[in-house]
Amino acid sequence: MNRSRPVVFAFVLALAAGSALAAPPAPATLPAWDQLSPAQRDLVIAPLRDRWNADPQARTRLFQHAQRWQQLTPEQRARMRHGMGKWEHMDPQQREAMRALFHKMRDLTPEQRTALREQWRKMTPQQRREWVEANRSPAD
């Protein structure tokens, strides 16, 4: 048993060495956008290109959103990413409700928003569904 220890030890080490060499190198820190090659930039924006080409009707909306994003301050962009994080965890029904509430609230005064919040809080799930249906947000 004792004689086999070095062999087992060597075998484990050899496995570790093999896996270390076989494992892909850790992702290197990528350079800034301007330093990326054209091929690398194409890869990064490929999903957006697909989205753009797949839905001609959405191009105006996508472009307007890009223009709006351009106007945001770095602090607003950080908050926006925070909001996006919440959005990602919502189900379609919840997203529809939040979209309707957002479009409704942005035209309201602070007092009216408070009133709507209070009204929303008292609604039953069925009443909320009906309210969302009645206040469905228009396409941007």
Partner 1 sequence: MKIDRPHPPGDDALSDEDFDRLSRARHRDAVASLSPRVQAQLQQRLRASRMPAAGMRRRHPAWGLAAACSLAVVFAFGLQHRLADRDTPVPASSVAASSNDNGELVATLDEAPDLYLWLASDDANRILSE
User: Would you count residue 136 as binding partner 1 (CB under 8 A)?
Assistant: no
Taking the C-alpha atoms of residue 115 and residue 37, their distance in angstroms, rounded to an integer, is: 53
Q: Which is nearer to partner 1, 51 or 133 (CB)?
A: 51
Q: Which is nearer to partner 1, 28 or 134 (CB)?
A: 28
**Contact present, 97 and 127 (Cβ < 8 Å):** no
**Contact present, 131 and 55 (Cβ < 8 Å):** no
User: Would you count residue 130 as binding partner 1 (CB under 8 A)?
Assistant: no
Q: Residue 23 phi/psi, 5° resolution?
A: -65, 140
What residues numbered 82-121 form the site for partner 1, per CB under 8 A? 82-84, 86-88, 98-99, 101-102, 105-106, 113, 117, 120-121
**Contact present, 51 and 58 (Cβ < 8 Å):** yes
Contact pick of 45, 60, 115, 133 for partner 1 (by CB under 8 A): 45
As measured in angstroms, the least distance from the Cβ of 68 to partner 1 is 5
CA-CA distances (angstroms) from residue 55 to 51, 70, 139? 6, 22, 14
User: Would you count residue 76 as binding partner 1 (CB under 8 A)?
Assistant: yes
Which of 119, 115, 113, 118 lies closest to 131, judged by CA?
119
Place of tokens 């929303």: 120
* Contacts with partner 1, residue ranges (CB under 8 A): 3, 6-7, 9-10, 13-14, 16-17, 20-21, 23, 25-28, 30-31, 36-37, 39-40, 43-48, 51, 58, 62, 65-66, 68-69, 72, 76, 79-84, 86-88, 98-99, 101-102, 105-106, 113, 117, 120-121, 140
